[in-house]
Amino acid sequence: MNFKESMLMTDFYEYTMSYAYFKQNKHEEVAYFDMFIRRIPDGGGFMIFNGLHRFIEFVKNFHFDDECIDYLRKTNFFDEEFLAYLKDMKLNIDVWSVKEGTPVFANEPLVTIRGTLIQAQILETMLLVCVNYSTLITTKAYRIARAAQGRGVLEMGSRRAHGVDAAIEGARAAYIAGCSATACTASGEKYNVPVTGTIAHSYIQLHDTELEAFRSYAEVTPDNCTLLVDTYDTLHSGIPNAIKVAKEYLIPNGHRLKGIRIDSGDLAYLSKKARKMLDAEGLEDCKIVVSNSLDEYIIDDLILQDAKIDSFGVGENLITAKSTPVIGGVYKVVANEKNGEIIPKIKISGNVEKVTNPGFKKVIRFYDNDTNQAIADILALKDEVISKDEYLLFDPSAPWKQKRIKNYHYVELQVPIFVNGQCVYETPNTEEVKQYCIDQMATVWEEVKRLRFPHRYYVDYSQRLFDLKNDLIKQNTMDI
């Protein structure tokens, strides 16, 4: 995405609202917005936050150049005074965010932005574009990698991704979540994600025989030779020819057959047969790689069937999060400032899940001191002091369900990213985010990470936030 496309990657109503604020002389008023996700995809128990790096890059480079202004002028919606204001605008926002790689849950603020109405409003679409997709794919990839139970997972979905950006960002997201490598070369160059690849069926078809194709590839890549064995007949042609090349060329020349890949058929049955055939010929170290529309549920079933598989190549079901291809991230105003006072705001809806949590808030995560496992999160108002000795947790949807905790420590999940428009956060590299993700996911109970019917992780309210929300609901609703 080039610079102009990034700057105009904004729902047009952000501009029409901004124009109205400007003409009403409200454009210098300050508001607070929360970005959060309403539902966890795939009926899962958690999400993994990602996409902040792209948003930081966007904010750092934010400005309206002549091309952008010329386009907005051509829409005939805005006068020259407003366009001149945009042209001269410098971001002076404050941003707080959860770190990339953090396990997060529904309805808790992931990113909070404080800024003037126009500045905070114009950032909405780009923030959601950056966070929604990356968080979705990181979460999906973690589920797939976890299902593999320590076996390697290769991300190979670029050709099925919904565009170039999706392929590159999706590969990074998959690696952070536990995939071992990607087939997306561009993600390797941009984010240092390890890249890997072997051969396609076309390579084999374009040789006179399968054996000739295998031999030629082995001669060129003797130390990295993985052969695709299902072009014609996996058990009666592909595997026997792979063994023949290993014994007649690779081993005599001091090399080993690295692996075979099976891309069709009954993967459990074929992998078991393949393992016996390879082992019988002294190729116990030859790895078996499988692909073909895999997802976490198929991988889980293959392992339950004792399939002899060392690693999985996963494409379309990962890169598109095919089972739940959209994540419901939203950006809602939660407060504004008047005469230096923060005034909480609430949106009320007939759909309970669309009622927002008002006020300038923070997200606190409690950890058990003995196990370092996460106990629960609470949403609290920003100025609240949280006790370090004892705290009463309660379910906001069923406040009689309570738990008093002791022997804990806690952290505030959001950290400052921008202060007065200046970036105060050092963006970690891909490896650092991956390690942070590993460390953070280790604090989440295994029951929460289950593929099926996960345990609910509680996101509670502080008493002050609970009272504030209910008071605002009463103030803004009428008896029918």
Mind listing the pLDDT tens digit for each residue in 28-41?
999 999 999 999 99
Q: How far is CA 13 from CA 9, 28, 271, 299, in A?
A: 12, 18, 54, 44
CA–CA–CA angle 443, 448, 453 (5° rounding): 170
Mind listing the pLDDT tens digit for each residue in 393-425?
999 999 999 999 999 999 999 999 999 999 999
Query: Strand pairing partners for 153?
Result: 312
Question: Can you give the pLDDT at residue 17?
Answer: 96
Q: Could you tell me if 364 and 411 are in contact, meaning their C-beta atoms sit under 8 angstroms apart? A: yes
Residue 44 makes CB contacts below 8 A (sequence gap 6+) with: 139, 143, 451, 454
Name the percent of the chain in helix, strand, coil, to the closest 5.
Answer: 40, 20, 40
pLDDT over 60 at 3, yes or no: no
Helices assigned H by DSSP within 75-154: 80-88, 117-122, 124-147
Structure tokens given for 219: 């001669």
Q: Could you tell me if 177 and 142 are in contact, meaning their C-beta atoms sit under 8 angstroms apart? A: yes
Distance CA 414, CA 114 (A): 14
Distance CA 227, CA 218 (A): 9
Question: Can you give the pLDDT at residue 350?
Answer: 85
Band of pLDDT at residue 353, cut at 50, 70 and 90: confident
Question: Can you give the pLDDT at residue 2?
Answer: 62
pLDDT over 50 at 480, yes or no: no
Band of pLDDT at residue 4, cut at 50, 70 and 90: low
Average pLDDT, the chain: 96
Question: Can you give the pLDDT at residue 6?
Answer: 79
Mind listing the pLDDT tens digit for each residue in 206-247?
999 999 999 999 999 999 999 999 999 999 999 999 999 999
Query: Strand pairing partners for 418?
Result: 95, 423
> Helix or strand or coil: residue 299?
helix
Q: Average pLDDT of 250-268?
A: 98
pLDDT over 50 at 299, yes or no: yes
DSSP 339: T
Band of pLDDT at residue 351, cut at 50, 70 and 90: confident
Question: Can you give the pLDDT at residue 1?
Answer: 60
* Block residue for tokens 């109205």: 20
Torsion of CA 170, 356, 455, 176, to 10 degrees: 20
DSSP 61: T
Which of 14, 82, 29 minimizes the C-alpha distance to 336? Answer: 29
- Tell me how crowded residue 405 is: count the other CB atoms within 10 A of its CB: 16
Q: Could you tell me if 455 and 448 are in contact, meaning their C-beta atoms sit under 8 angstroms apart? A: yes
Q: Could you tell me if 428 and 439 are in contact, meaning their C-beta atoms sit under 8 angstroms apart? A: no
pLDDT over 60 at 202, yes or no: yes
Taken in order 314, 320, 321, 323, the sign of the CA dihedral is negative
pLDDT over 70 at 354, yes or no: yes
Distance CA 250, CA 228 (A): 16
Residue 129 makes CB contacts below 8 A (sequence gap 6+) with: 9
